[in-house]
Amino acid sequence: MTVNQVDFMVPKDQTQAKLDSRSAAADRVKPLDLYTTADRWEEQVKKHSAKVFLYYGDEVYTYQQANEIINQFAHTFLKLGLKASQTISICLENRPHFYWVWFAAMKLGLRVSFLNTNLKGLPLEHAVKESESLCVLVGDECITNFEKQFTHIEVPIWRVEDPECSITDSQIKLSDRNITQLAHGAAIDNPDRAMRAHITAEEVALYIFTSGTTGLPKAAITSHMRWMMAGAVMEVVLESNDKDVFYCFLPLYHGAAATSLTSTALVSGAAIALRRKFSLRQFWPDVRKYGVTSCQYVGEICRYLLSQPESPNDRGHTLVKMTGTGLTKDNWNQFINRFGIKNVYESWGSTEGNANTLNFDNKVGSCGRVPYWEKTNLRIVKYDQDTNTHPKNAAGFYIPCQPGEVGEAIAYIVESPMTGGGRFEGYTSKEATEKKILRNVFSEGDKWWSSGDLLKYDEDGYCYFVDRIGDTFRWKSENVSTLEVQAVLEGFPGILFSTVYGVEIPGYEGRAGMVALMLNPDASFDPVAFYEFAANHLPRYALPQFVRINKQMDMTGTYKLRKVDLQKHSYNPNLFDDQLYVIDEKGRCYVPYSAAALEKAGYKELAPLNKQLA
């Protein structure tokens, strides 16, 4: 049986009514309320104490059991002298301790900085310093990231034990402070609320790092109000309740899992089924085992699931609601028809943004709908991609796009003590925050958030994501800064010039990284050494999938490398005669481009495109 998505026009007023309910939910917590994430948690513990909060493998924790463990860590933090409004960093994969230390910190009014578990080297050091953390809690599973940074990170590093991870004695000595052991004997009662009683909802709760085009991670500020708002609006959208089970396999250091999923589950009194990392083999077994009703996705995840052989049991599951981004139209139709998912909520937004869109109507391919533009702070304005500027009208103001026109999504910045909706909380860096603000857009003195995303919309208000502005591209659901990757790779001996860019691969979401290198005249390319260098300095998702060794580089008059032709040539050797290599992760090297190399890298569908391949 075919699942029919919207094949008729949903009335605008029907969609707007849902948006109005969402807006009302977003306004429940006011900026100056003396109410925090910890208050929300403790309220839900009282209400749902015996209900399951967390599933992890065969471990099950009720709200009350989780609260007692969290309290042990909170009392331990107290003994260490940590106080409200101070910051700690945590670097952990998806496991219960992520919640234990995070919520424990919230109980004391601490701020928590989530470190991307892929970071190493300078970006890792920068992330710790950017949030002004007083200490770092590192899981055993991430301790190798810090081995070369212990002399550079000038704050205490505490070990969080991971029974699933074996580490060497030398690694343990690098971080002999074991906070897990300290917490074992601590009290299980709630710490005195007076320690956080003065904290308002608009104050900082989290720092969530997002990749930018500046070369180093930026710490996006998330207030208690913003975190709770995310859950309140999605509770309305999903009509979730305490019978729901949310499946969390996306990394908790990201805004989607930590903010949207966790906050929604908590405000609903629901359970979370936590998996350390996405597993293609275990996805549906997990859904069935825990009775999962809702999960987040990125488009790549759906494509992976579709790649598996069909089974008579494809619809034998409890999953009915999915929220996420990046689901292509073709995969969308295939996915709902094969697995019978009733509701797919494709969206557009960002961790730090002050506006987003959400597809309530199951309109395939759309990332959301704006029925009446006068009722939202979002606008799409014309953007010239050749000059990287916003065209202006005769009066000197920006020009709104018409249906079908591609432009940048921007949002009016609301600054009111009465509401958190429309606020732009920015970054720890004032300079980075200012770069995201557009001024005098439609009138003198107004301020708008610049998303850096290109969108378009149709006559019925349905919006569609088009692309990112500039050099940042997405791969494996991560933002990759070309400038960051380029800066790292140019540290490899023998490179004269380099440029990094994203290339499209049929059937894959986002763009794969490709680097064009021009070597010094006396240098030769060592594909093994280059791989080792890149792998030791970059997160896995940022590793170039293709390497092109250019005989010469095309530059602009200002000595900037020209990427236009390189991107057009992509990885097709029919269009150039430079040396071309493909990544071989298992072999830990790059190998000459061939049909066999493509297949080994997982890109066998590219071989027919290049007829000269053997």
Residue 484 has pLDDT above 70, yes or no: yes
Residue 253 has pLDDT above 80, yes or no: yes
Distance CA 337, CA 318 (A): 15
Residue 318 has pLDDT above 60, yes or no: yes
pLDDT of 22 reads: 94
Residue 3 has pLDDT above 60, yes or no: no
The residue that leads in pLDDT, 574 or 248, is 248
Which region among 28-37, 363-372, 517-526 has the lowest average model confidence (pLDDT)?
Answer: 517-526
pLDDT of 389 reads: 92
Report which of 463, 442, 461 is spatially closest to residue 453, judged by C-alpha positions: 463
* Average pLDDT of the segment spanning 68-75: 98
Residue 589 has pLDDT above 50, yes or no: yes
* Average pLDDT of the segment spanning 208-232: 84
Burial class (CB in 10 A: 0-12, 13-18, 19+), 405: middle
Q: Contact at 8 Å (CB) between 93 and 103?
A: no
**Residue 608 pLDDT level (bands cut at 50, 70, 90):** low
Distance CA 464, CA 243 (A): 33
Q: What are the residues whose beta carbons fall under 8 Å from the beta carbon of 354, sequence distance 6 or more?
A: 377, 411, 413, 414, 422, 423, 424, 425, 449
What phi, psi does 54 have (nearest 5°)?
-140, 130
Tokens matching residue 150: 């212990």
**Residue 119 pLDDT level (bands cut at 50, 70, 90):** confident
Tokens matching residue 576: 């150039």
pLDDT of 8 reads: 62
Distance CA 347, CA 325 (A): 6
Classify strands 87-91 and 59-62 as parallel, antiparallel or unpaired: unpaired
Quote the percentage of the chain above a pLDDT of 70: 93
All domains of the chain in start order, with CATH: 12-363 (3.40.50.12780), 473-609 (3.30.300.30)
Distance CA 449, CA 45 (A): 37
Q: DSSP letters along 24-42, please? A: HHHTSS-TT-S--HHHHHH
Residue 127 has pLDDT above 50, yes or no: yes
Q: Contact at 8 Å (CB) between 77 and 43?
A: no
Distance CA 577, CA 551 (A): 9
Give the chain's mean pLDDT: 90
Q: What are the residues whose beta carbons fall under 8 Å from the beta carbon of 23, sequence distance 6 or more?
A: 233, 421
* Average pLDDT of the segment spanning 573-594: 93
Q: What's the distance, CA 243 to chain centroid?
A: 27
**Residue 522 pLDDT level (bands cut at 50, 70, 90):** confident
Q: What is the pLDDT of residues 178-210, one digit of tens each?
A: 999 999 999 999 999 999 999 999 999 999 997
Q: What is the pLDDT of residues 536-563, one digit of tens each?
A: 999 999 999 999 998 876 654 333 456 7
Q: What is the pLDDT of residues 373-411, one digit of tens each?
A: 999 999 999 998 767 899 999 999 999 999 999 899 999
H helix or E strand, kind and range, residue 500? strand 495-503
Residue 369 has pLDDT above 70, yes or no: yes
pLDDT of 556 reads: 41
Tokens matching residue 80: 């260490």
Which region among 208-217, 239-248, 340-349, 535-544 has the lowest average model confidence (pLDDT)?
Answer: 208-217
Positive or negative, the CA dihedral 564, 566, 569, 574 is positive
**CA 424 to each of CA 223, 367, 416: distance values in angstroms, whole numbers, following the listed order:** 11, 21, 11
pLDDT of 214 reads: 44
pLDDT of 176 reads: 74
* Average pLDDT of the segment spanning 68-89: 97
Residue 33 has pLDDT above 90, yes or no: yes
Tokens matching residue 404: 């079908």
Residue 611 has pLDDT above 60, yes or no: no
3-state secondary structure 540-595: HHHCCCEEEECCCCCECCCCCECCHHHHHHCCCHHHCCCEEEEEECCCCEEEECCH
pLDDT of 566 reads: 85
Three-class SS of residue 508? Answer: coil
Q: Contact at 8 Å (CB) between 436 and 430?
A: no
pLDDT of 107 reads: 98
H helix or E strand, kind and range, residue 74? helix 63-79
Distance CA 26, CA 201 (A): 13
